[in-house]
Structure formats: C-alpha cells, structure tokens
Amino acid sequence: MARSPFTWKLHGDGVHIPPGEVVGPDERLSWGRTIGIGAQHVVAMFGATFLVPLITGFPPATTLFFSAVGTLMFLLITGGRLPSYLGSSFALIAPITAVQVTKGQPTPEEMGLALGGVFAVGLLLAIVGAVVHFSGVGWIDRVMPPVVTGTIVALIGFNLAPAAWNNFKAAPVTATITLASIVLITVLFRGIIGRLSILLGVLVGYAAAIVQSEIDFQPVADAAWFGLPQFHTPTFDPSLLGLFLPVVLVLVAENIGHVKSVSAMTGKNLDDVTGRALFADGVATMLAGAGGGSGTTTYAENIGVMAATRVYSTAAYFVAGFTGLILSMMPKFGQLIATIPPGVLGGAATVLYGMIGMLGARIWVQNKVDFSDPVNLNSAAIGLVIGIANFTFIAGDVAFEGIALGTAATLVVYHLMRGISRWRGTSIEPASPASAPGGVELDDGDPVNRSTETDPWQRSWNTPRRGADSQ
C-alpha cells in the first residue's frame, strides 16, 4: 500500500543527523526544526521567484499564490516522494515579454494573451508527463540527448541578455551595486548565506536604491494587510503558440534533472516518479496560467538548501508551501515586492540569465559531450546563434522568434546530421582540425572513443572500424 503523503517517520531523535546520513523524503526532524527548514526554502526561492513577475509585469502576490498552490499540488501528485518547491520559470520570460509592446508593462489584453500561452505550456507538459509515466523516459533521452538539451537551456539564458541590459542601464549605479553584492556574497560566505547570494544581493541593491530615492513607498502604505491577490483570466491566440510551446523542452529537462539530483543525494531510485513530476508541474503551470501567475518549475536554489541541511523531508516543503500561501494573501507584502526598481532587477538578471546560459554548458560537461564530433558542434553552434541573435520568422499570423527557432534548429540539425552521417558512414570520419580539442581521442585510432558515451545515436548505430581516424 502506498504511504500517505502526510505521514513521516521521525529520523533518529528528531534533533541530530549523524554523519553520513540524510533525512529522507518520508522522514522528518522535530516539527520545530522542520518549520525552520521550511522557512529556509521560502527564503531560498524568494529572489528568483519574484524577479520573474517584476520583469514581466505580472502581480508578484499572484505569482507567489500560484507558486505555493503549485508546490502543494506537486507534493500531493507525487505522493510526497519527491521534495520540491515550484518557483517561477525563467524560461517563460522571453515569450511573455514578446507579446508586450512595452516590456514589463503589459496591458490587460497582453496579459491575457501571455496567460493563454502559459496555460498551453502547462497543458503540453502535463501530456508529456502522462506519456512518460506509462512509457518511461527513454524516448526523451533519444529525442533530446545532452548536446540538444544543453543547447536549448543555454540559448534561453543568452536570449534574455538584452532584457538584463535594458534594466541595468535604467539605473547603472544601483545595478552595479546589486551585481557586485551578489558576486561578493557568493564567495565571502559559506553555507546557506552563500547560497542565498541572489536574495541578499537584491536586498543590498534595494537599500542602495532607497538611499538614491529611487523607490516610491506610497503604494505599500495604501495596500491592505490581508486580502486575496489579483486574479486574471487567459485569452488564447493560436498564432502565439510558436513563442511558448518550445519552453516545454526546458521544463522537461529541469524536472528530469531535479529527479536525478534528488535520487543521487538521497540514494533512492525515483525514476518511477518522473512522469508524475512532469505531470504535476504541468498542472501547476496550467493553474497559474488560468489565474494570473507565472509558469512554474523545480528550483535549484532549494536543491542547495537540501544539500546544505541534509534534510530532504517533504514535510519541510509542505511548510514552505503553506508559508508562501499566507504571504501571498498579504497585499502590503506584495506591493513591497513590486517596489523593487529596474536597477536592482538589471543587476540580478545579469547574473541569473548568465547562469541559465551556463547551466546549458554544465549539461554538456557533466555528460561529456564531444564537440570534436561535427554533428554535436554544428547542432549547438547553429541553435545558439539563432537563439542569441533572436532570429524571427513570420508565417501568416504566427510569429516564431529566437528561442522557438533556435530550439527547432538544434533538434532538426542534430537528428538530420546524425541520420545522414550514419547512413553515409561519415559519423566516424576524423574531426576537422578546427574542431579537434587536442587530438587525444583521435590518437588511438579508435572511433569508439568519439561521442559514444553520451550520444544515443552513436551508441545504437556506430560500428567500430579500426584505423578510420588515423588516416
């Protein structure tokens, strides 16, 4: 019988965690310590979660409301087996702002259209989750090998670079202080303080903005202490789907990465919950799109808190979800968040967008993607340039911009080149001098050493041929 997501066994004495042990998802410490750790998770997600609505012009309190509700739903759908907090997805910033004439200041009509796109992303993600639950994740690995996944994640981060600059130049002094604070806090402090560098850097930048009289507190004074957040309804325009639906690929990669990370750190095999995790995030994103919130995703910041505390208890995440829900019903708190000025956003976004881009590179490194293989090299190169330059293609009423086109190009170029190369037998040809990293993998004359570990196509189709690379 499956356990209830609301029951946890006490780990040890509920106070101490012996060396080498962790508190598993089905365990907890004393309730006092569990509540404290839950509060840490709320703080950890704060900085990044609130940056998305501030950049896109969505109501911060509404975003927090659906983030909290989505987290609670996620825990229920996954049966309390997968600890996670669902924060705002940065992958949706580009398509949301693309439908706005004035970036960050949407009209009611533009907000409705953006919410319709968010809802569509959630629906498709939920469908993918249902398919994965019944068929497994193998097909995702074949469609999106590491070189493709890393490229898509990277191009989304780098595509957002102009948005960071637009906010940065609005108040360069405040932005520079914010950026410098984040960098210094990251390396000056250990443990949880260092992991909260984004949030603490934003607070330092906010203080600098106050000194420079860049903030108007009147809306905070006028807001009520308690009340429901502002809700908005979506409207649907099929011509905008090309902007939004590619984001699903990123959300799939983030969720699968989260499951693998928690599995590795807890020593529990959670592969069977991957489909439910994708489905749950899809449902949470649909709910956000239906009511006025940003789309959701699992957060690396909270992975950091779990690694630092060695507590993976889902009880702490239930505490975090209810805490976020209470805060979202305090309009004065929401208005306070909304006063964060562009300079602070620009400094923080410079770091965050760059980190998203480099997370793509980390996927390549961790999976040992071989860029001496011209298929990998061309797939990544073409997708990145299209995404960073924000290529735009309009077909009738449908507009496709950098992220959608870069994603499509990466997928098409990779699978087309890989298919042709194995048909022609050129997948084992030597790399060109320009693409060879140092010749190590070419020296032994064994083509098996090229791209066989991380490339599903190569793993399945390469026939070793001695001496091919020594010509």
- For 160-216, list the strands marked E by DSSP: none
pTM over cut 0.75: no
d(CA 62, CA 16): 37
Contact 426, 378 (CB under 8 A): no
Beta-sheet pairing, 296-298 with 393-395: unpaired
d(CA 312, CA 81): 10
Q: What is the predicted pLDDT for the residue at 452?
A: 42
User: What's the one-letter identity of residue 154?
Assistant: A
Q: How many CA atoms lie within 13 A of 36 on its CB side?
A: 9
Which residues touch 240 (CB under 8 Å, ≥6 apart)? 95, 99, 113, 116, 117, 398, 399
Q: What is the predicted pLDDT for the residue at 462?
A: 47
Beta-sheet pairing, 393-395 with 398-400: antiparallel
Instruction: Kindly write down the DSSP assignment for every residue of 46-75, as one continuous string.
Output: HHHHHHHHHHHT--HHHHHHHHHHHHHHHH
Contact 307, 194 (CB under 8 A): no
Task: Label residue 240 left, alpha or beta by phi (over 0 means left) and psi (-120 to 50 means alpha).
Answer: alpha
Which residues touch 406 (CB under 8 Å, ≥6 apart)? 151, 152, 155, 159, 383, 384, 385, 386, 387, 388, 391
Contact 229, 328 (CB under 8 A): yes
* Torsion (CA) 168, 171, 176, 179 in degrees, nearest 10: -50
- What are the distances in angstroms from CA 110 to CA 118, 212, 287? 12, 32, 18
pLDDT tens across 91-122, in order?
Answer: 788 788 888 877 767 888 889 999 999 999 99
- For 379-430, list the strands marked E by DSSP: 393-395, 398-400
Instruction: Kindly write down the DSSP assignment for every residue of 11-54, as one continuous string.
Output: -TTSS---TT--B-TTEE--HHHHHHHHHHHHHHHHHHHHHHHH
Instruction: Indicate if the pLDDT at residue 447 is higher than 60.
Output: no
Nearest to 342 by CA among 11, 118, 47, 55: 55
Mean pLDDT of all residues in 56-73: 90
pLDDT tens across 416-440, in order?
Answer: 999 998 888 776 554 444 443 444 4
Q: What is the predicted pLDDT for the residue at 80?
A: 85
pLDDT exceeding 70 applies to what percent of the chain?
85
**Domain spans of the chain, in order of start:** 23-369, 383-470
Percent helix, strand and coil across the chain, each rounded to 5? 65, 5, 30
Instruction: Indicate if the pLDDT at residue 189 is higher than 80.
Output: yes
Instruction: Indicate if the pLDDT at residue 397 is higher than 70.
Output: no
Nearest to 104 by CA among 58, 170, 50: 58
